[in-house]
Amino acid sequence: MELLGDPLLSESFTKLTEIVIHVAKTTADFKPELDQLQNTLQLIAPIIDDVVKLNQILDRSEQQSAMFVDRIQDAEKLVQKCSKIKRNFIKKYTHSLKLKDANNKLLRFFQLEVQADQLRDIRQTLVEVDGVISRIDSLSVDARQIHQTWSYNSLSVSSRYELIERGNLGWRVPLLPRGIVAFDEPLKKLKAKVFEDSDAYDDGSNGDSNSMEIDDDGDESSVVVVAAAGGCGKTTLVTMLCHDSDIKGKFRENIFFVTVSETPNFMVIVNELFNPNSSSQPIPFQSDEDAKNKLGNFLLDKVSRPMLLVLDDVWDHSFIDNFPLKIKGCKILVTSRSAFPRFDVFRFDPLSDEDAKILFCQSAFTESKKRPRIIIDENLVNQMVKCCKKHPLTLAVVGGSLNGRDESAWRSMLRTLSHGSSVLYLNEQARHRLERSFTALDEEFKECYLDFGLFPEDQRIPASSLLDMWVHLYNHDDAGVDTFDKIVGLSFRNLVNLVATRKDSAVTVNYCDQQFVTQHNLLRELAIHLSSKPGLPIAQRKRLIITTHGEDLPASVLNIQEPMQARILSISSEELFSSRWCEMKVPEVEVMVLNLKSKTYTLPYFMTEMQKLKVLNVTNYGLYPSYIDNFLLIGSLSNLSRIRLERVEIPSLDTSILALENLQKASFMMCKIGNAFATKLSNDNLKVWPKLVELEIDYCHDLVGFPDLLCSSVHLKNLSITNCNELCEISEEFGILTNLENFSLRSCTKLEKLPESITRLQKLSILDISDCLSLSGLPDEFGKLGGLRTLYMMGCTGICELPLSVEELAHTHVVCNEEMYDQWLEFGNVKVERVEEDRVETLMKIIRFDKHNSQDIKQTLAEVSDMESRMNSLLVDARQIHQTWSSNSLSVIERGELGWRAPILPRGIVAFDEPLKKLKAKVFEDLKAYDDGSNGDSNSMEIDDDGGGGDESSVVVVAAAGGCGKTTLVTMLCHDSDIKG
């Protein structure tokens, strides 16, 4: 506490803390309340410390410290009174309540008064910034002098900005895979390759240049392509490079990593840079060209040099042209299965014999207490490694398939692999080798593995999506135990990768909740290849996987006239898909997966004939929520039992959809719900989704209240409404759902209260209200929830007091943080588990600041104050300003803060010389009449009222047919040295 900068505040805070500790040790009656008050003081002490220091920098210490001192001194007096109470039980009780109130006042103080102070600071920041701008207008130096004097200061601000802002941007380097034992030699060579051209650029600035520059002479030498067959470890190698200490020392924070994939959407990719949180509002790009220009301008203005940009899994060399190739100090590293001859290609050498064996053994031999390591003859191991031909993915998959198997299985696999030749470079042969690992699976594992081919490449697959399919196809349990077991089994065999996002303290109602799966592209292609079975006609396949390229369906599907026997149907379409569906006949389909990217989408009309359809999964992977214009078609699927919609705009639901009598589970993930459930029922006796058992609503930001319509789904057992930040109301009709067993409201931050009718849910077993920050309390009769077994309420900072009825709870396990822990301890009828949380993070949730907390604002004010003092040293009188620095010179500096910038010059332009010469002459033609010899230094522009030079002659229209290069020509003009001069 002695670190507090203000002497009065430091003394008060230290004194209060010492008294609290002393009284807590000597007065047992107040110990819970005093411990809670002590925890609060420890929580806010470092925050106050930083605020006071910054106030001193701003010369506002007395004004700002007073409000902290008042609160602390009031608490100090109360604690001193408590220390004098010995046997007066009435005073003990009343002062115990006062201690709780003091603690709550301190927390409420941060919620209200501190937040108001922050609002004032923001306004004051804007005022002071405006003052700084006005002072800049009066600076008296020419443009060259400004550049020389301010370059270092601008550099420092830019560097600090970059380091702070990089954490808010996407394109981040993936985590380094565990247990990498090879690639040392390739990594060494690739690093030398990257440094080769970067060192030629290094100007000794150590990456502190304020902005990057266009290199008009730049060519493809800035691009290095790491080329190798699928599954050879290209992504692993470049990820290792990005984590290399020498590379990080060279490029620092300027390392960007982009996953491209076979069918990339450039606007989505650029959006992921500026907006890495996919649930937030996307950047409104007009076109790919607009996204390209915004990206180029960002890299030029905001990113210091040098910079490393990794483009992973590029299939078409033309896609690289979307990125700025002519920026000095920018190195672009590309991984691809193809060696693009126009670029510098880095040949990915095969593993050494030693590294290949190490990698294989790492996958084939693991031991644990339950399963000791099996001894396999060394010669047999060497032969198996030789058969894998040093192919990293083959080594890992084959090794994993033999893990824990006896010697007979090894010899059988060796005999199978020995029949073929090389597996390294030819994809067909690589799939043939990997297929041997597939044959080692039992039948259900095979079917589960093949289902991964239903989803697009390079996308995280929600485990809950697999659960919905596999409950129906393979009779898995609804709790996700069987599904998760199969995922873990496939992950253990290196056929998929499990990505867990659930925290340890999260509610485990379903084992697949918040779990995701990814799969290497080669393994996905293997699944599609095995599902296709070239020898089997398309009409007879069990799985029909269709991928559109362009506007229409593949001809192989369009030409089929007979009914198809597929039980599972997957259709993946691109943005340009026109939704011109043919009359496909797929009457046997039970599971349908639709992967789309377009803003508007039309469901296939042949779905009306799919009366056996039980599971429908519609996922939009595009930038914006997709509007389905014939959504009402779903109402004709009378046997539909599960539906999952992600990033879809849901229109008002027709009664035909609400009346689906066999629907058991509905999931709405990141959807625009709007007024979807505002339908007025014409029949009062209509039961909405009468067999609905489970409902999921996640990240639906426009959901304001729980739909009353769904309260008639009386068989609902599991309800999850999470991360819906606008949810603020649940009506009293909610109590009709008497069969509800699991209810989650996690992170619904605006919800202020639970309905009193929730106490009628006697079957409710698990309730999760964690991070419901605005929740002010529990219902008065909360103790009547006789069936409640687990209550999760971490981060419920708004609940100050528990209702007395909670003493009626029995066999209830409460999981909470420190703020609620002491309150629950007063009731001995419940088991209380305290979860440790980051105190600063908790405080930030209380004051509702996500990105800019109070310390940031104080630091901003301090930096503005420092900037203002430096500006004062540059002021000169108005006459000298007018003479030496015109407003036109000022505009050069301010121009960098404005938009409407000229796009980056396209690469490799070899024509347009003559048209450029004529257009330039045309532009200069009328400007010469204006030229007054001031060299563009006129202080302001003038209105021409005479109609002479002020008519349409000031406008030049460049006219030509589409695609003739008009944009390229005028861009060249903007970059012309004479025009810029």
What is the DSSP annotation of 860-914? HHHHHHHHHHHHHTTB--HHHHHHH--HHHHHHHHGGG-S-PPPPPPTT----HH
Q: Out of 52-61, 590-599, 706-715, which region has the weakest mean confidence (pLDDT)?
A: 52-61
**Cα–Cα distance between 811 and 831 in angstroms, integer?**
8
For residues 514 and 541, membership in a common domain is answered with no
Find the range with the poorest average confidence among 153-162, 280-289, 972-981.
153-162
In a domain, 480, yes or no: yes
Check: CB of residue 300 under 8 Å from CB of residue 327.
Answer: yes
Count the neighbouring beta carbons within 10 Å of the beta carbon of residue 964: 12
Comparing 862 with 348, the larger pLDDT belongs to 348
Query: From the CB of residue 717, how many other CB atoms can be counted at a distance below 10 Å?
Result: 17
Residue pair 653/675 in contact (Cβ under 8 Å)? The answer is no
Which has the closest alpha carbon to 79: 44, 30, 119?
A: 30
Asked whether 524 and 496 are in contact (CB, 8 A), the reply is no
| Whole-angstrom distance, CA of residue 887 vs CA of residue 133 | 14
Examine residue 22 and state whether it is found in any structural domain, yes or no: yes
> Dihedral of the CA atoms 501, 504, 507, 510 (nearest 10)?
60
163, pLDDT greater than 60: no
Q: Are residues 183 and 314 in the same domain?
A: yes
- State how far the Cα of 796 lies from the Cα of 819, in Å rounded to an integer: 8
* Residue with token string 């920050």: 773
* pLDDT mean across residues, the chain: 76
Whole-number Å distance between alpha carbons of 857 and 865: 12
Residues 178 and 48 in one domain: no
**What gap in Å lies between CA 43 and CA 32, rounded to an integer?**
17
Mean pLDDT highest for which of 227-231, 843-847, 893-897? 227-231
Which residue, of 503, 532, 561, is where some domain finishes?
532
| Whether residue 41 is found in the same domain as residue 67 | yes
- The arithmetic mean of pLDDT across residues 31-55, rounded, is 68
The answer to the question of residue 24 being in a domain is: yes
Same domain, 190 and 326: yes
Sign of torsion, CA 470 474 476 478?
positive
Give mean pLDDT, residues 80-105: 70
What pLDDT score does 452 carry? 93
Q: Residue 795 — pLDDT band, cuts 50, 70, 90?
A: confident
pLDDT (tens digit per residue) in 99-140: 777 777 766 666 666 666 666 667 676 666 666 655 655 544
Rg (CA), the chain: 34
Side chain identity, residue 543: R
The verdict on 61 and 189 lying in the same domain is no
Confidence of residue 757 (pLDDT cuts 50, 70, 90): very high
Q: What is the pLDDT of residue 146?
A: 40
Only one residue has tokens 């898995």, namely 476
Which value, to the nearest 10 degrees, does the dihedral of the CA atoms of residues 796, 801, 803, 804 take?
140
Residue type present at position 159: S
CB under 8 Å to 191, separation ≥6 — which residues?
A: 241, 244, 246, 247
List alpha helices for 85-216, DSSP H: 89-111, 113-137, 143-165, 184-201
Contact 274, 256 (CB under 8 A): no
Same-domain pairing of 606 and 661: yes
pLDDT reported for residue 928: 65
Strand blocks (E) in 677-796: 694-698, 718-722, 742-744, 766-768, 790-792
Q: By three-state DSSP, how is residue 429 classified?
A: helix
CB-facing half-sphere around the CA of 514: CA atoms within 13 A: 16
**pLDDT class of 569 with cuts at 50, 70, 90:** very high
Q: Which of 347, 372, 391 is the last residue of a domain?
A: 347
Q: What is the CATH number of the domain that holds 593?
A: 3.80.10
Neighbours of 13 (CB within 10 A): 26
Which of the pair, 843 or 300, is modelled with greater confidence?
Answer: 300
446 three-class SS: helix
Going by C-alpha positions, the residue among 605, 717, 590 that lies closest to residue 641 is: 590
Q: In what order do the strands lie in the sheet with 255-261?
A: 255-261, 307-314, 330-336, 223-227, 344-347
Distant-in-sequence, close-in-space partners of 535: CB < 8 Å, separation ≥ 6 = none
Say if residue 582 is in the same domain as residue 487. Answer: no
Residues 564 and 672 in one domain: yes
Whether residue 16 sits in one domain with residue 114: yes
Q: Domain containing 238 — which CATH number? A: 3.40.50.300
In a domain? residue 97: yes
Q: In terms of pLDDT, which residue wins out, 760 or 685?
A: 760
Weakest mean pLDDT among 314-318, 613-617, 681-685, 901-905: 681-685
Residue 749 lies in a domain: no
- Do 124 and 175 sit in the same domain of this protein? no
Range of the domain at 660: 535-679+686-692
Smallest Cα–Cα separation from 523: which of 515, 531, 535?
A: 531
Q: Tens of pLDDT along 698-753?
A: 999 889 999 888 888 889 999 999 999 899 999 999 999 999 999 999 999 899 99
Of 115, 133, 151, the last residue of a domain is 133
Is residue 202 within 8 A of residue 325, CB to CB? The reply is no
Helices (H) and strands (E) in the chain, counts: 30, 24
pLDDT (tens digit, 9 = 90+) per residue, 272-311?
888 776 656 677 888 888 888 888 888 887 666 788 999 9
For residue 912, being part of any structural domain is answered with no
Q: Which of 694, 670, 676 is nearest to 634 (CA)?
A: 676
Instruction: Give the three-class secondary structure for 753.
Output: coil
pLDDT-based confidence at residue 92 (cuts at 50, 70, 90): low
Question: Per the structure, how many domains does the chain have?
Answer: 4
> Cα 258–259–263 angle (5° rounding)?
125
180 and 328 together in one domain? yes
Residue 266, token pair as written in the block:
């450039």
Give me the mean pLDDT over the 441-458 stretch: 90
In this prediction the pTM is 0.61
**Domain-embedded: residue 376:** no
CA 975/CA 608 separation, integer angstroms: 57
Residue 978: inside a domain:
no
779 Cβ contact partners less than 8 Å away, ≥ 6 residues apart: 753, 754, 755, 756, 758, 759, 803
Contacts of 165 (CB under 8 A, 6+ apart): 302
Residue 451: pLDDT over 90: yes
* Alpha carbon distance 597, 587 (integer Å): 26
Q: In what order do the strands lie in the sheet with 515-518?
A: 461-462, 515-518, 497-500
Q: Please, what sign has the CA dihedral across residues 82, 84, 89, 91?
A: negative
Judge whether 96 and 104 are in contact, CB under 8 Å: no
For residue 363, the model assigns a pLDDT of: 81
